Amino acid sequence: MKCTTEYVWFNTTKKREYINITDRVAGVVRQSGVQEGIVLVSAMHITAGVYVNDAESGLIQDIDEWLENLAPFKSNYRHHRTGETNGDAHLKSLIVHHEVIVPITEGQLDLGPWQQVYYAEFDGQRRKRLIIKVMGE
């Protein structure tokens, strides 16, 4: 079995940001030489997530609004008693989840016709990291 690992760093410009990383993930898969297997894509921070969905801008805005409704920014989270102010970002990360696994078939990401891989940042404007791990034959 072959394994390849790449770390990707982000410095987002906004507090919440959704970054299409499909091409980056596909590039790591190509470089790995794996023809059949899986790729794990995982945010390495507890205030970020990774998901698969459509790249349509209206949907991305809908996702952002939906997450803000489910876990709104507010000052009275118990987590804020520690001196932090990102309780909502932790909750948004739980909703989105921190990782996805995508199949690799014939050396390419095996996504559906509209599926794209996204890095979701919920407490941005500082350096964050993502891991892409390719495994297979």
Structural domain tally of the chain?
1
pTM score: 0.95
Which band of pLDDT confidence, cut at 50, 70 and 90, is reported for residue 54?
A: very high
Question: What integer is the mean pLDDT of 104-113?
Answer: 98
Q: What pLDDT, on a 0 to 100 scale, did the predictor assign at position 81?
A: 93
| pLDDT at 28 (0 to 100) | 98
Computed over every residue of the chain, the mean pLDDT equals 96
Tokens of 99: 């990782």
Report yes or no: 58 and 131 within 8 Å, Cβ to Cβ.
no
- Mean pLDDT along residues 46-63: 97
Residue 102's pLDDT band, with cuts at 50, 70 and 90, is: very high
What whole-number distance in Å separates Cα of residue 110 and Cα of residue 104? 5
pLDDT at 86: 94
Residue 33 banded pLDDT, cuts 50, 70, 90: very high
Q: Which domain holds residue 94?
A: 2-136
Which domain CATH number covers 24? 2.60.120.460
Please, are residues 137 and 3 in contact by the beta-carbon 8 Å criterion? no
Per-residue pLDDT band for 50 (boundaries 50, 70, 90) equals very high
pLDDT recorded at residue 94: 97
Q: What is the pLDDT of residue 66?
A: 98
pLDDT, position 8: 97
